Every structure is written in structure tokens, then in C-alpha cells.
Amino acid sequence: MAANPSIRDRVIAIIAEQAVLEREQVSLEMSLAELGIDSLGLVESIFAFEEEFDISVPFNANEPTESDFDISSVAAIIGAVEKLVAEKEAA
């Protein structure tokens, strides 16, 4: 299944903004740590995803490894956001 370009672009834009980078500097393979996004930046990104896409992200900042929301890479985050958007649209 191909990524929805508008979701992908919007997620990358949010991540780039949090990392204070140009969009072109954000690659799909990069982790948030590689982008310089700390735990506070991650939480701010999650809030931005929820607001941008009107979704509820299943993420607990106190237990990040217990979450169903994969934050291992930019591509994983895009996939997780796309899944949540698809679930919302199907509901």
C-alpha cells in the first residue's frame, strides 16, 4: 500500500518543525534521536499529529516502549499516523 503523500508530507513537516530543520533534511530512515528530537519534542510532535489529523495517538510518554505507536523512524511514524487516520475514517 503506497503512503498517502499528503499525510507523509504533513508528518514530515511536523517532524522538521520540531527538529528545527528544513524538510529536505528529514529522511524516512532517520530516528527522532538522529534528528535531535528529545522526549519533550516527541510529546509536542504527538500533540501536533493529533491536532493536524484529528486523531488520538495511543502514546504514553512515561512508557514509550509500551506504546502501539511506533516511533522508531520517520517512516514508522508516518505508517502509524496513516493507520490511525484510516481507522478514524473507517469508524
Burial tier of 14 (Cβ tally within 10 Å: 0-12, 13-18, 19+): buried
CATH assignment at residue 58: 1.10.1200.10
pLDDT at 1: 47
List, for residues 38-70, the tens digit of each pLDDT value: 989 999 999 999 999 999 999 877 786 777 889
Structural domains in the chain (count): 1
Evaluate if pTM is beyond 0.85.
yes
> For residue 3, is pLDDT > 90?
no
- Domain holding 70, by residue range, is 5-90
Average pLDDT taken over every residue of the chain: 91
